[in-house]
Amino acid sequence: MKCNICEIGCDLAEGQSGQCRMYINKDDRIIERFSNNYFTMFPVSIETVPLLHYYPRGTFLQVCTVGCNFKCEGCISEILASRLLSTNKKSGISNENVINKALHEDCIGIVFCLNDPAVSYFTFCDLANKARENNLLIGCSTNGYFTENALKELIPLIDFVNIGIKGYSDERYISCGARGSGPVFRNLKLLKESDVHVEVSTIYIKGSEDEVINTAKFVSSLSRDISFQVMRFVPFGDAAPQIEPTIRESEVLCGKLKQYLNHVYLFNSPGTDHLNTVCAQCSNIIFQREFFGPMGSRTLSYLPQGMCECSNPALFRGEVSEVSYHEPGFMGGYRITRALEMIHAILVCLGVKDDHKLAEIWANVMETGYLEEFHASSQDLNSYFDVIEHFAALADRKKEGMELVAYMREKLDFIRSVTNDIERPRVYYCMGYPLFALNGERIENNLVEAAGGESVNKLINREGKPGVGISHNEFCDMNPEFIFISGFLSTPVSDSYAYCKKYGLSADAIKNRRIYDLRPLWDFGSPRWILGLMYIANKLHPEIFNFDIDKEANQFYKRFYGVSFDSSRHNRSFYSVSSRQ
């Protein structure tokens, strides 16, 4: 029989599952294989989902299961979409538990996101019913590939939705394992006409500007006021870096989209001002926001009641919350997927290649609550070695763990011993544009200090995730002698100099042309930070250090990845060290 939940429409023989592997044909009925099987459940601010025009600053309970009906290159949720399926087991969390958790945490609603509710359709419908019974708002983030009948059954149960659009053409959807783009735009129109609050997010892959523009044109035919979120594509998996647009290129595209839509937002772009809600009539900033982790944002300030005197009163749905929830550690939005990838990165270096073993360890982290300790320990260079030993024990790879720790400790101890009593230059670490400063306690700034620098980021007395925007004056007062750009969400050095010129930023680092970028994931997220440490030491103290970085990288890659280092095949994956070209 044919599965009638999503438009891929898999043919399911008796006892068989389809592309998403989440349903089975049992006695000529479509049955959910893992019903009520939640992987995560924690409170978040609605802007991290992200939704920007719905109950701004409101606290919602974020839940997800595992699995996805799509197979997209460079997926930010690949871990939840596919890898955890190999050891999926009952979580012990019922929909009643979810409701009770939401009420206990003073959440005003529940949002299903991170993976797609289409693979847990019956669970989600039941959850939505129970949420309504308890006066909780309910909605989801989804690729929107439901069949028309499945969506019509869902619509009376939900209040809001963020539709993630892959592109306008059939080709973009075929590349994700779907049949074409038509069902998504049909469903978007149906949701809007049904008075469900709708926001749209769309992937921007370099060279696919027309896909985004044509999508914007369609959305504008429904309403110019729909929140339109451009997700700058960052190849989190093993996708090639050549298809990653820069922040600057993404901002240019957003400028073009504003001829069709009143509210265009840019995500995955630390330091951009394209996250602000601006009045379409007078250009006043109604909500000022900043980058808050992958796919997320947070509100910094807003006009009273979130209203400009001349703005459309129907722009936002729901009241602005007086209190904004701040997620601890890796909790909230898509940061948890990055945490699991960081664990994966360590396990790969220990020789763990089996997906089943990997998923077992991930499950252990979630069940034991180790994630909070992992967040703190992974930022400190010394305690990072304890983290390696922790996962080596879980993976029964103690010998390999000792070898990795010994290698990294030797390099770290040598660099520290040489820089112990030397004059330290002022060093500033940014992510994306220069005015987005990484939090002082992060591992990148600890690398700076180990390499013989003084981290000026530690002078900043406020924090975000992973950092905060700083003012022109704050930057100039710190007057860094060196600037490093994060290897995680970066921007080209040339764009950084152009930004500094445009905004009149002055510092010794700019004057002396000492802005440097890190190779992806050589300063955060994997044991490769030991290579980043050597690179930083070379730049800060060339009179002392002369590491042959390519040679060091080749030795590390051969020893712990079993492959040679190839600088032309880098990517932004924490655990994979080469991309598909």
Give residue for tokens 């991309």.
579
| pLDDT attached to residue 449 | 98
To the nearest whole percent, how much of the chain has pLDDT over 70? 95
Nearest-angstrom CA–CA distance, 358 and 369: 17
pLDDT above 60 for 87: no
pLDDT above 90 for 522: yes
pLDDT in tens, 425-471: 999 999 999 999 999 999 999 999 999 999 999 999 999 999 999 99
Mean pLDDT for the stretch of residues 43-58:
95
What integer best gives the mean pLDDT of the chain? 92
Higher pLDDT, 300 or 93: 300
Question: Both tokens of residue 247?
Answer: 């922040």
To the nearest whole percent, how much of the chain has pLDDT over 90? 72
pLDDT in tens, 169-189: 999 999 999 999 999 999 999
pLDDT above 70 for 81: no
pLDDT in tens, 205-220: 999 999 999 999 999 9
- Cα of 552 vs its chain's centroid, Å: 30
pLDDT above 60 for 398: yes
pLDDT above 60 for 85: no
pLDDT above 90 for 306: no
| pLDDT attached to residue 241 | 79
The answer to whether 554 touches 564, Cβ cutoff 8 Å, is yes
| pLDDT attached to residue 75 | 72
pLDDT above 80 for 237: no
What's the 3-state SS for 369-383?
CHHHHHHHHCCCHHH
pLDDT above 80 for 331: no
Nearest-angstrom CA–CA distance, 220 and 197: 15
pLDDT above 80 for 295: yes
Higher pLDDT, 239 or 330: 330
Nearest-angstrom CA–CA distance, 251 and 337: 26
Q: How confident is the model at residue 575 (pLDDT cuts 50, 70, 90)?
A: confident
| pLDDT attached to residue 410 | 97
Pick the closest to residue 436 from 408, 415, 465, 409 (CA basis): 465
pLDDT above 90 for 569: no
| pLDDT attached to residue 521 | 86
| pLDDT attached to residue 535 | 98
pLDDT above 80 for 378: yes
- Kindly report the number of other CB atoms within 10 A of residue 569's CB atom: 17
Which CATH number applies to 419-569? 3.40.50.1980
Which CATH number applies to 23-332? 3.20.20.70
Mean pLDDT for the stretch of residues 569-576:
78
| pLDDT attached to residue 21 | 87
| pLDDT attached to residue 337 | 83
Q: How confident is the model at residue 548 (pLDDT cuts 50, 70, 90)?
A: very high
| pLDDT attached to residue 573 | 80
Mean pLDDT for the stretch of residues 317-346:
87
| pLDDT attached to residue 90 | 58
pLDDT in tens, 475-502: 999 999 999 999 988 899 999 999 999 9
Mean pLDDT for the stretch of residues 521-539:
96
Mean pLDDT for the stretch of residues 2-19:
87
- What residues contact 553, with CB distance under 8 A and at least 6 apart? 531, 565, 567
Q: Which of 60-64, 305-309, 462-466, 490-494 comes out lowest in average pLDDT?
A: 305-309
| pLDDT attached to residue 73 | 78
The domain locations on the chain are: 23-332, 336-409, 419-569
Mean pLDDT for the stretch of residues 401-412:
98
Question: Both tokens of residue 554?
Answer: 């080749």
Q: How confident is the model at residue 311 (pLDDT cuts 50, 70, 90)?
A: low
Burial class (CB in 10 A: 0-12, 13-18, 19+), 285: middle
pLDDT above 50 for 581: no
- Strands of the sheet with 277-278, listed across from one edge: 277-278, 285-291, 297-302
